[in-house]
Structure 1
């Protein structure tokens, strides 16, 4: 059964419902849920990235948002988000566990489709690593120093060290290892993490 999404105009007013494939092909604005998890300790802050499964249709094997997904037509935003987190990472969270950091409009072009997302952004701050049980859409979950991510975005370094939270193995990742989000999107995420930490 096709996944149905609500589509929006430039003013973010709902204007109809379409199949997901049509939405991406025709470049309609639609809603997505993004949850970034980060690990904070006395020494550093690490962002958690999921590695997309190798059999994914889009960006197979690349590293991306900790948990994310489309909000289906007539589906509640938070219900959709909590469902995605459980399906992808095996974590059963509650709405009060998540911190809203607003929304960001992002446009990603890939092949024959134009993905225009109204991203509903959330944080799940961790003081210790959760016990993940990843679903079939996820290959791995890794942690990367926030400082290294910021330096790579600025072009100060060409790679980062990623440590798997599933098996403890480390590897070197380059910018090409990650889903190519807009520069502004990643800057928004990093700035929001820093703002959260400084308020503690």
Structure 2
């Protein structure tokens, strides 16, 4: 909603005031967001899980993105952002279930989009098979990519990778899918942001 107030920061992370969500995006103001990346281990391989954005989304429809993410309102603390996991994916997790790696700057500047975020980044190590209840207006499914292959894709060392997961069909039932994806199928996060995500995750998994 345009009336939603967000805290505004400078490039160094100092709090300098508040602005509406509309102002934040139209003026490219730095603001806080909650980022939760789902990670699974299958046999000896780790997988990074990506939310498939709904076709009805105003910005970046049908692209793969952070497992669950959202804005942190001016009256909220960082931990309040965990609501996004349940709202978007229907997965009930506690903040104690997550691994916090800190706040990372993420800039997405394209055409009319001026999105400058201080993303508070968490990892969720999936303990077992999950059952999802998607917020279909926002999320059309969840796809996973082997971590090492995704890194190679992001660094443009390879052109395509295989992604598997579940998507919401026209009848609203969840169906299993497998598809080849390229770097252009992912939301264009800042290179430094994604490099930090991959570096921190590999450090945790060592």
Map 1:103-114 to 2 at 5 A: 103-114=103-114
* Runs of 5+ unmatched residues, structure 1: none
Aligned residue pair count: 197
- Give the drift of 1:103: 1.4
1:143-178 deviation per Cα after TM superposition (whole angstroms, max 9, x unaligned): 111111011122221011110145321011111100
Tell me how far 1:129 sits from its aligned partner.
2.6
Q: Equivalent residue for 1:167? A: 175
Give the 5 Å matches for 1:17-32. 17-32=18-33
1:167 counterpart SS class = strand
Structure 2, unaligned stretches of length 5 or more? 167-173
Q: Does 1:4 align with 2:5?
A: yes
Deviations 1:5-49 (A, max 9, x none): 111123322222111111111111100010001101332111000
Question: What TM-score, normalized to structure 1?
Answer: 0.93
SS of the counterpart of 1:5? Answer: strand
What is the Cα deviation at residue 84 of structure 1? 0.5
Distance 2:186 2:62 in 1: 9
8 Å CA contact 1:26, 1:113 repeated in 2: no
| Larger CA deviation: 154-163 vs 55-64 | 154-163
Relative to structure 1, the CA distance from residue 60 to residue 10 in structure 2 (aligned partners, 3 Å threshold; closer, same or farther) is same
**Over residues 52-105 of structure 1, what are the superposed CA-to-partner deviations in whole Å (9 max), with x where a residue is unaligned?**
0011111011000000001011112111x2211011000111110111011111
Aligned alpha-carbon RMSD (Å): 1.3
Q: For residue 189 of structure 2, what is the aligned residue in structure 1?
A: 181
1:190 lines up with 2:191 in the alignment: no
In the TM superposition, 1:24-103 aligns within 5 A as 24-79=25-80, 81-103=81-103
Offset at 1:132? 1.1
Q: Which contiguous aligned blocks of 4+ residues in structure 1 show a shift greater than 3 angstroms?
A: none
- Whole-angstrom distance in 2 between the partners of 1:85 and 1:197: 22
Matched with 2:141 is 140
